Structure 1
Amino acid sequence: MTSLDKVMIHGRRAARVIRADIGGVRRRQGGNRKMRQGEWRQGSAAEWLWSPEPMRWRRTYSGRPDQVTAARVFAASLFAGTAREEDVAVVVAELATNAVRHTRSGEYRGWFGLEVTLAELAYISVTDLGGGGVPTVCPQPAGSDLECGKRGLVIVSKLAVSIGVHGSVRTGHTVWADVSLLDTGEDKVGCEENTLAS
Structure 2
Amino acid sequence: MHEYTSRTRVWGVSCPGLPEEVSRARRWTRDILRGSPFAEDAELIVSELSANAILHTASGREYGSFHLAVAVSAQVVAVSVTDDGGTGTAPKVEHQDQDAEHGRGLGMVNALAHRVIVHASGTGRTITAELFTDARRGGQPC
Which category describes the TM-score, using the shorter chain as reference length? 0.7 to 0.9
Look up the match of 2:125: 173
The answer to whether residue 80 in structure 2 is matched with residue 128 in structure 1 is no
Number of positions where the alignment pairs a residue of Structure 1 with one of Structure 2: 132
Structure with greater contact order relative to length (CA < 8 Å, sep ≥ 6): 2
RMSD: 2.1
Pairwise CA distance, 1:52: 5.0
Could you say which structure has the larger radius of gyration? 1
Q: 5 Å matches for 1:1-198? A: 52-119=6-73, 120-132=75-87, 133-140=89-96, 144-145=97-98, 147-168=100-121, 171-182=123-134
- How far 1:167 moved relative to its partner? 1.0
Shift of 1:78: 1.0
Question: Is the CA contact 1:61–1:67 (under 8 Å) kept in the aligned structure 2?
Answer: yes
Q: Could you state the TM-score of these two structures normalised by the residue count of structure 1?
A: 0.61
- The gaps in structure 1 that reach 5 residues or longer are 1-10, 13-50, 184-198
SS of alignment partner, residue 23 of structure 2:
helix
Distance 2:77 2:125 in 1: 19
Q: Following TM superposition, by how much is the alpha carbon of 1:146 offset from its aligned partner in structure 2, in angstroms?
A: 5.5
Equivalent pair of 1:60/1:111 in contact (CA under 8 Å): yes
Structure 2 unaligned spans of 5+: 136-142
SS, match of residue 90 in structure 2: coil
- Does the C-alpha gap of structure 1 residues 104 and 163 become closer, same or farther in structure 2, counting only changes over 3 Å? same
Structure 1 or 2: more strand by fraction: 1
Percent sequence identity over matched residues?
34
TM-score (norm 2): 0.84
Contact 2:66/2:81 (8 A) holds in 1:
yes
